[in-house]
Amino acid sequence: MTKELKHYINGQWVDSSNPNKLNIINPATQKVIARAPSATKEETEEAIKIAKRMFESGIWSDQSPVARAAVLLQIADLIQENLDELRDLEVQNNGKTKREAESDVEEAVNTFRYYAGLLNMPNGQVYETSGNMQTLIIKEPIGVAGLIVPWNFPLLMSVWKIAPALAAGNSILLKPAEITPMTAVKLFELIDQSDLPKGAATLIMGDGPVVGQTIAESVDVDIVSFTGSTGVGRHIMQAAAGNMKKVSLELGGKSPNIIFDDADLETALDYSLFGIFMGSGQVCSSGSRILVQEGLYDEFVQKYIQKAKKIRVGPGHDEHSQMGAIVSEKHFKSILNYIQIGKEEGANLALGGSRIEGNGLEDGFFIEPTVFTDVTTDMRIVREEIFGPVVTIQKFKDEEEAIKIANDTEYGLAGAVFSTDQNKALRIIKKVRAGITWVNAYHLTNIQAPWGGYKQSGIGRSLSTYGLDEYQETKQININLDPAPIRWFE
């Protein structure tokens, strides 16, 4: 039976007054798995008001860090206990493989545990200042946090925001992407079982331009934390200007993966495949532009294609599949359109480029691992985020040219360098204008490190202590230890 999803507002599961519902599809089969509500502007405004009341009541924000940590640990344990169900829901709704989904759920558990741990750390400073004055610098919750997330890591991107926002004592409203609400609903069922005060966390589903826009515009929302495309991010910034709310943006990328002649070839090949084809390339930090030095270029391309050809594409629930489906028909068409653009621009389609059919795959949205060579920096397939299993391989001469090509983009999210010369690798990676970088690796990162981009890839950082700081205000309290008149006007 098709599941009817509901909003979670004020600790209750509620229907929307809007009768129009969205069919939630499994992209590997195109079967309808649920129907999601689509909140109206008025419903969203009402939910924000409730979140504000809850914040002002102090029922969560006034709880001690130790008490808040205990709730976060409870939520982590509940996620852990429901790992299999969350993994399978993510596979069904997003199309990713079981292995990818399982790693997302594990990371969700770790993220809640990490922020619970941070709550046991000192979170402020004390200064001895002039005379008898002493200054305390303390951190406080911001208020109501509006959290808007994309479809590529539906659970994990939600948790990257929810865990630090709750840790800091805020009231939160989560808006999942229209097409991938399944794991968010399950997460809120688990939150409902925890001791988080009812009303401190709200789940509201619906269209970006209605629900997301209302959150971004609302004078009662104090921070909007958004992960998604750069275009919508720009829009969110404008909408947020009304009440000068804090804005945190994790946006798109077109990240360079630079491979020098002296790289360990097997390592470079392996991570360069992982860098783009993990998640079917629907990963913001994907290494979608591979740059290879001229001495290694031919051998690299030949071996890369041989290996990419062998990637087994199929439904995520099949243990055999190494790369899953594209999330939706709309996105699937957009990727195929970019492949067409690449051909028309004169790039050499060295591998793939088509929909995969046969063995029942024609029922879903599957695209072959696709490799373009002979590309130039002015081509759209090199400049624009395709967000699919499509990679370009470009040749460079020397260090100077590698850096020039790497940084010739409006984005600055991620980047990598492969070389056995550690000095050179470090020299180059320091010149790559991006927030998340690797030397002789790709995609491996951890909760302790800040995640975010330079340039048009975003503002602010997720994860780590920086991620907690996004959801906190900083206050100075100046204390006169020897109260006596200042006599300024005498």
Instruction: Give me the active site residues, please.
Output: 250, 284
Rule CB under 6 A: is residue 245 a binding residue for ligand NAD?
no
Least Å from the CB of residue 222 to ligand NAD = 16
Least Å from the CB of residue 399 to ligand NAD = 27
How far is residue 288's CA from residue 281's CA, in Å, rounded to a whole number?
Answer: 8
Intra-chain end-to-end CA distance of the chain, in Å: 81
Choice between 116 and 436, CB closer to ligand NAD: 436
Least Å from the CB of residue 126 to ligand NAD = 34
* Contacts of ligand NAD in 364-403 (CB under 6 A): 385, 387
Binding mask 18-37 for ligand NAD (x = CB under 6 A): --------------------
Choice between 152 and 472, CB closer to ligand NAD: 152
Q: Find the angle CA(172)-CA(222)-CA(125) to the nearest 5 degrees.
A: 95
DSSP 355: B
* Contacts of ligand NAD in 409-468 (CB under 6 A): 413, 453, 458
Q: Find the angle CA(362)-CA(228)-CA(168) to the nearest 5 degrees.
A: 130
By CB under 6 A, the count of residues binding ligand NAD is 30
How far is residue 114's CA from residue 303's CA, in Å, rounded to a whole number?
Answer: 40
How far is residue 447's CA from residue 115's CA, in Å, rounded to a whole number?
Answer: 9
Query: Hunting for tokens 């959801």 — which residue is that?
Result: 471
Q: Which stretch binds ligand NAD (CB under 6 A): 74-82, 247-255, 337-345, 475-483?
A: 247-255
Choice between 268 and 459, CB closer to ligand NAD: 459
Q: Which amino acid is at 392?
A: T
Q: Please give the full DSSP string across 413-463, using - where no structure is assigned.
A: SEEEEE-S-HHHHHHHHHHS--SEEEES-SS---TTS-B--EETTEES-BS
Choice between 251 and 406, CB closer to ligand NAD: 251
Choice between 288 and 370, CB closer to ligand NAD: 288
Q: Which stretch binds ligand NAD (CB under 6 A): 78-86, 228-236, 347-355, 424-432?
A: 228-236
* Contacts of ligand NAD in 252-271 (CB under 6 A): 252-253
Least Å from the CB of residue 389 to ligand NAD = 15
Choice between 208 and 364, CB closer to ligand NAD: 208
72, 168, 232, 268: residue in contact with ligand NAD (rule CB under 6 A): 232
Rule CB under 6 A: is residue 295 a binding residue for ligand NAD?
no
Least Å from the CB of residue 73 to ligand NAD = 25
How far is residue 462's CA from residue 317's CA, in Å, rounded to a whole number?
Answer: 30
Q: Which stretch binds ligand NAD (CB under 6 A): 226-234, 366-374, 420-428, 471-479?
A: 226-234
Choice between 185 and 263, CB closer to ligand NAD: 185
Phi, psi of 125 (to 5 degrees): -145, 160
* Contacts of ligand NAD in 149-208 (CB under 6 A): 149-152, 157, 175, 177-178, 208
Least Å from the CB of residue 239 to ligand NAD = 6
Choice between 72 and 232, CB closer to ligand NAD: 232
C-alpha dihedral over 197, 247, 219, 44, to 10 degrees? -60
Phi, psi of 349 (to 5 degrees): -80, 100
Measure Cα distances from 397 to 400, 414, 430 in Å. Answer: 8, 22, 19
Rule CB under 6 A: is residue 216 a binding residue for ligand NAD?
yes
For the chain, the residue count is 490
Phi, psi of 87 (to 5 degrees): -60, -50
Choice between 22 and 439, CB closer to ligand NAD: 22
Q: Find the angle CA(116)-CA(233)-CA(103) to the nearest 5 degrees.
A: 40
Least Å from the CB of residue 224 to ligand NAD = 8
Token code pair at residue 77: 């344990």
Rule CB under 6 A: is residue 227 a binding residue for ligand NAD?
yes
111, 170, 213, 255: residue in contact with ligand NAD (rule CB under 6 A): 213
Rule CB under 6 A: is residue 220 a binding residue for ligand NAD?
no
Maximum Cα–Cα distance across the chain:
91
209, 242, 346, 360: residue in contact with ligand NAD (rule CB under 6 A): 209
Least Å from the CB of residue 85 to ligand NAD = 23
Q: Which stretch binds ligand NAD (CB under 6 A): 11-19, 143-151, 295-303, 370-378?
A: 143-151
Choice between 157 and 381, CB closer to ligand NAD: 157
Q: Are 75 and 196 in contact (CB under 8 A)?
A: yes
Q: Please give the full DSSP string across 134-186, using - where no structure is assigned.
A: EEEEEEEE-SEEEEE--SSSHHHHHHHHHHHHHHTT-EEEEE--TT--HHHHH
Burial (CB count within 10 angstroms: exposed 0-12, middle 13-18, buried 19+), residue 10: middle
Closest CA to 93 of 190, 172, 197, 177: 177
Which distant-in-sequence residues (6+ apart) come within 8 Å of 369 by Cβ? 277, 308, 309, 311, 313, 323, 351, 352, 389
Rule CB under 6 A: is residue 250 a binding residue for ligand NAD?
yes
Rule CB under 6 A: is residue 104 a binding residue for ligand NAD?
no
Contact residues toward ligand NAD (CB under 6 A) are: 148-152, 157, 175, 177-178, 208-209, 212-213, 216, 227-229, 232, 235-236, 250-253, 284, 385, 387, 413, 453, 458
